[in-house]
């Protein structure tokens, strides 16, 4: 809990003001039955004065108006504080998530992170609003009503206190039973979000394979699973109000029964006091109903807080190094005995990899699906850290660099051509935030994207979510331009020309080859795309099984020859 106090610090006075106003409203509400008792006992029974009754009614109206004003301003303060708290937590959570490495992100999962950043933070935000609005008021009303019952008659006060304790016990039992189910519910919501995301992002694939019924069944199964868990919560929570009402109404009946004897046998016990006691019992009932609803809300909020805290407690396995400067005279990349396995598996995706790449060289990497090509290049900018061995960039172990400085050396084009909503200009500025129009145009020409960009509308052409208003090949060329515009020392193209025709692919490679002093790593399924590389590395099951130039590999490496021959037959 303490870690979240800081997110409310700037709204401290709204919290204090809101709680104070709600306390004033509660005090006034507790005084109303006493005023009413005076009206009955003095204004009606003793004096029979209509003026006294009207004056008492006026006091009650004034108290109600002041209470209404306090409640209104409390609501405003609670809204400002809770919304600000939610915004601060959400921003801090988003910043923290962006500090995590791929290893931690893979462990939690995208769908779960989305749910925690949205739904779970919303639950915590609602809890803050309720703390300001009702947590101060409801317990104060319940305790204050019990105390005032003791003031009126200590015997009935004991009865009222017993009723309050019984209701509190019911609340505790139900909260204790429902907490585990609320935590499960959030996990099941993660699953539902994951399926929804997969179907929305892969809508074309689902329809192309006529899998709508199958996916609908998968979604229904997840929704029904969540429904079953929610019904269990509902069945337990359903006992709350009936038990609370039963206990409190039994208490009211006992008060009436005991009060009847007291009025008959004790002239000092008046009708007004009976009315006041019943009103206090009703206030206790209402307060307990509010508390029961708060129990449900706080149970969900507590489960959500634990899930958000789980992310905050997770720290990146990749930490900044001492902050060395790249030695551009050293080899661009050196790998010595590098092995790597993903979190949660003992199987190595890379094993004993040794590579040396000089600055300005063009390197090709080829191999079958799952051979470890993408895994290998992900180790270079420290998207992951090697499990064993050493990865050096320009003379220094990548762990010695500040992560930001290391990644500044790279222009990275991943397999998935991801664009962000905005404009072509805003997407290219990812590669260099202060890039001029001339630099962007140069990068577009290098990626063979200049013509179609300016045919569509130029650098200020809108880009829809995921770049869906561009074709697959156009998206790939724009991501290449985004990497090139920053003039990186090392350019990594991870199968980023797969959607291009052979002519455009050749032109892009030719333009990239003309870049001065740029070390280029080409990963491709096409042998024709890497055949002119200075060195080609052939991967199989995470191991390098061949390296050299095209003609040597074709003669000496059976796997490379098989890949080339199979593609030659297809192209023929």
**CATH number for position 354:** 3.40.50.300
Token duo for residue 253: 């009946």
In a domain, 507, yes or no: no
The DSSP element (H or E) to which 355 belongs, if any, is strand 350-357
The DSSP element (H or E) to which 67 belongs, if any, is helix 50-97
User: Of 82, 141, 470, which is closest to residue 281 (Cα–Cα)?
Assistant: 141
Residue 83 confidence (pLDDT): 92
Domain-ending residue, one of 265, 286, 313: 313
Residue 304: CATH number of its domain: 1.20.1560.10
The DSSP element (H or E) to which 485 belongs, if any, is none
Tell me: do 385 and 237 sit in the same domain: no
CA distances from 124 to 13, 133, 160 (A): 19, 14, 33
Return the DSSP state at 135: I
User: How many beta carbons lie within 10 A of that of residue 314, not counting itself?
Assistant: 16
Token duo for residue 182: 């609320």
Residue 438 confidence (pLDDT): 92
Residue 570 confidence (pLDDT): 44
- pLDDT tens for the chain, 572 residues long, are 678 888 888 888 988 898 888 888 888 888 888 888 888 877 777 676 788 888 888 888 998 899 899 889 988 999 999 999 999 999 999 999 888 887 888 788 777 788 888 888 998 999 898 888 888 788 888 888 888 888 887 878 888 888 878 887 887 888 778 777 877 877 787 788 778 877 776 776 777 667 777 888 888 888 888 888 888 888 887 887 788 778 878 877 887 777 777 766 655 677 777 788 888 878 877 887 787 778 778 877 887 888 888 889 888 878 887 878 888 889 999 999 999 988 767 788 899 999 999 999 999 999 887 788 888 988 998 888 888 999 999 989 999 998 888 888 998 888 788 888 899 999 999 888 888 999 999 999 999 999 999 988 889 889 988 788 888 888 889 999 999 998 899 999 988 777 778 888 888 888 988 888 889 999 888 888 888 889 999 998 889 998 999 888 888 888 888 888 887 754 43
Token duo for residue 312: 């905050």
Tell me: do 283 and 358 sit in the same domain: no
Give 548's contacts (C-beta < 8 A, 6+ positions apart). Answer: 535, 536, 556, 557
Tell me: do 309 and 332 sit in the same domain: no
User: Of 8, 18, 1, which is closest to residue 86 (Cα–Cα)?
Assistant: 8
Residue 80 confidence (pLDDT): 92
Token duo for residue 567: 């593609």
Distance, in Å, from the CA atom of 292 to the CA atom of 240, rounded to the nearest integer, reads: 7
Give 502's contacts (C-beta < 8 A, 6+ positions apart). Answer: 528
In a domain, 259, yes or no: yes
Domain-ending residue, one of 313, 330, 365: 313
Distance, in Å, from the CA atom of 49 to the CA atom of 43, rounded to the nearest integer, reads: 5
Tell me: do 271 and 325 sit in the same domain: no
Residue 441 confidence (pLDDT): 92
Domain-ending residue, one of 290, 313, 336: 313
In a domain, 22, yes or no: yes
Q: Please, are residues 106 and 343 in contact by the beta-carbon 8 Å criterion?
A: yes
Tell me: do 156 and 274 sit in the same domain: yes
Tell me: do 284 and 326 sit in the same domain: no
DSSP 3-state assignment of 565? helix
Residue 572 confidence (pLDDT): 38
Give 81's contacts (C-beta < 8 A, 6+ positions apart). Answer: 8, 11, 14, 15, 18, 128, 129, 132
Tell me: do 255 and 301 sit in the same domain: yes
Distance, in Å, from the CA atom of 530 to the CA atom of 521, rounded to the nearest integer, reads: 9
User: Backbone phi, then psi, for 367, in 5-degree steps?
Assistant: 170, 175
Tell me: do 262 and 347 sit in the same domain: no
In a domain, 433, yes or no: no
Distance of CA 501 to the CA centre of its chain: 39
User: Of 336, 465, 343, which is closest to residue 388 (Cα–Cα)?
Assistant: 336
Q: Please, are residues 194 and 109 in contact by the beta-carbon 8 Å criterion?
A: yes
CA distances from 215 to 75, 111, 226 (A): 44, 17, 17
The DSSP element (H or E) to which 219 belongs, if any, is helix 212-237
66: number of CA atoms within 13 Å, CB side? 16
Tell me: do 279 and 345 sit in the same domain: no
In a domain, 382, yes or no: yes
DSSP 3-state assignment of 108? helix
Tell me: do 145 and 19 sit in the same domain: yes
Token duo for residue 154: 């200590």
Distance, in Å, from the CA atom of 62 to the CA atom of 172, rounded to the nearest integer, reads: 37
Q: Please, are residues 115 and 189 in contact by the beta-carbon 8 Å criterion?
A: yes
Tell me: do 309 and 329 sit in the same domain: no
The helix-helix angle for 154-201 and 271-313 (nearest 10°) equals 30
In a domain, 368, yes or no: yes
User: Backbone phi, then psi, for 469, in 5-degree steps?
Assistant: -90, 10
Distance, in Å, from the CA atom of 477 to the CA atom of 499, rounded to the nearest integer, reads: 9
User: Of 354, 332, 365, which is closest to residue 530 (Cα–Cα)?
Assistant: 365
Q: Please, are residues 206 and 215 in contact by the beta-carbon 8 Å criterion?
A: yes
In a domain, 454, yes or no: no
User: Backbone phi, then psi, for 26, in 5-degree steps?
Assistant: -65, -40
Residue 363 confidence (pLDDT): 92
What sign does the dihedral 36-41-44-50 (CA atoms) show? negative
Residue 344 confidence (pLDDT): 63
Distance, in Å, from the CA atom of 281 to the CA atom of 275, rounded to the nearest integer, reads: 10
Give me the number of domains the chain comprises. Answer: 2
How far the first Cα of the chain sits from its last, in Å, is: 67
Q: What is the dihedral of CA 250, 253, 258, 263, to 10 degrees?
A: 160
492 bridge partner residues: 412, 521
Checking phi first, is residue 416 left (phi over 0); if not, alpha (psi -120 to 50) or beta?
Answer: beta
Residue 230 class from Cβ within 10 Å (0-12 exposed, 13-18 middle, 19+ buried)?
middle
Tell me: do 337 and 247 sit in the same domain: no
Q: Please, are residues 151 and 273 in contact by the beta-carbon 8 Å criterion?
A: no
Q: Which domain holds residue 549?
A: 320-409+528-572
In a domain, 85, yes or no: yes
Q: Please, are residues 149 and 280 in contact by the beta-carbon 8 Å criterion?
A: yes
């Amino acid at each position: 809990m303490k870690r979240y106090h800081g997110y409310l610090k700037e709204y401290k006075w709204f919290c204090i003001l809101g709680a104070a106003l709600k306390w004033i409203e509660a005090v006034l509400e507790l005084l109303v039955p006493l005023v009413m008792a005076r009206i009955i006992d003095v204004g009606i029974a003793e004096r029979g004065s209509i003026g006294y009754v009207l004056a008492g009614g006026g006091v009650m109206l004034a108290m109600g108006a002041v209470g209404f004003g306090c409640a209104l301003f409390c609501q405003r303060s609670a809204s400002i504080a809770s919304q600000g708290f939610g915004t601060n937590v959400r921003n801090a959570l988003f910043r923290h998530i962006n500090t995590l490495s791929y290893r931690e992100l893979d462990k939690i999962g995208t769908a779960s992170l989305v749910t925690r950043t949205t739904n779970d933070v919303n639950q915590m935000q609602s809890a803050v609003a309720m703390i300001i609005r009702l947590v101060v008021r409801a317990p104060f009303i319940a305790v204050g009503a019990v105390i005032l019952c003791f003031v009126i008659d200590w015997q009935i006060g004991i009865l009222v206190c017993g009723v309050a304790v019984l209701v509190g016990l019911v609340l505790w039992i139900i909260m204790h039973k429902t907490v585990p189910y609320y935590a499960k519910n959030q996990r099941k919501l993660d699953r539902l979000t994951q399926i929804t995301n997969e179907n929305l992002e892969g809508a074309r694939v689902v329809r192309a394979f006529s899998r709508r019924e199958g996916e609908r069944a998968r979604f229904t199964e997840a929704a029904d699973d969540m429904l079953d868990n929610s019904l269990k919560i509902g069945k337990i929570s359903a006992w709350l109000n009936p038990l609370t009402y039963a206990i409190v109404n039994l208490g009211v009946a006992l008060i009436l029964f005991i009060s009847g004897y007291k009025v008959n046998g004790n002239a000092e016990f008046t009708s007004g006091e009976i009315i006041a006691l019943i009103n206090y019992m009703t206030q206790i009932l209402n307060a307990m109903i509010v508390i029961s609803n708060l129990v449900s809300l706080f149970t969900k909020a507590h489960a959500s807080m634990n899930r958000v805290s789980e992310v905050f407690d997770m720290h990146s396995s990749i930490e900044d190094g001492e902050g060395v400067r790249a030695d551009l005279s050293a080899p661009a990349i050196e790998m010595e005995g590098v092995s790597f396995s993903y979190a949660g598996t003992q199987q190595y995706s890379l094993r004993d990899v040794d590579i040396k790449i000089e600055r300005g060289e063009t390197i090709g990497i080829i191999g079958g699906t799952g051979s470890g090509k993408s895994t290998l290049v992900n180790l270079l900018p420290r998207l992951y850290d090697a499990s064993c061995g050493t990865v050096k960039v320009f003379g220094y172990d990548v762990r010695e660099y500040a992560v930001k400085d290391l990644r500044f050396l790279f222009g990275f084009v991943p397999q998935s051509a991801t664009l962000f909503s905005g404009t072509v200009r805003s997407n290219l500025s990812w590669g260099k935030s202060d890039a001029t129009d001339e630099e962007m145009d140069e990068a577009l020409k290098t990626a063979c994207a200049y013509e179609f960009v300016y045919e569509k509308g130029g650098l200020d052409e809108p880009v829809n979510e995921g770049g869906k208003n561009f074709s697959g090949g156009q998206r790939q060329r724009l991501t290449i331009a985004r990497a090139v515009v920053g003039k990186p020392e090392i350019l990594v193209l991870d199968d980023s020309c797969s959607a291009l025709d052979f002519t455009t692919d050749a032109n892009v490679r030719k333009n990239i080859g003309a870049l001065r002093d740029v070390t280029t790593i080409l990963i491709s399924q096409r042998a024709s795309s890497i055949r002119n590389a200075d060195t080609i590395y052939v991967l199989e099951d995470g191991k390098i099984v061949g390296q050299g130039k095209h003609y040597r590999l074709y003669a000496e490496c059976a796997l490379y020859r098989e890949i080339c021959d199979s593609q030659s037959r297809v192209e023929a």
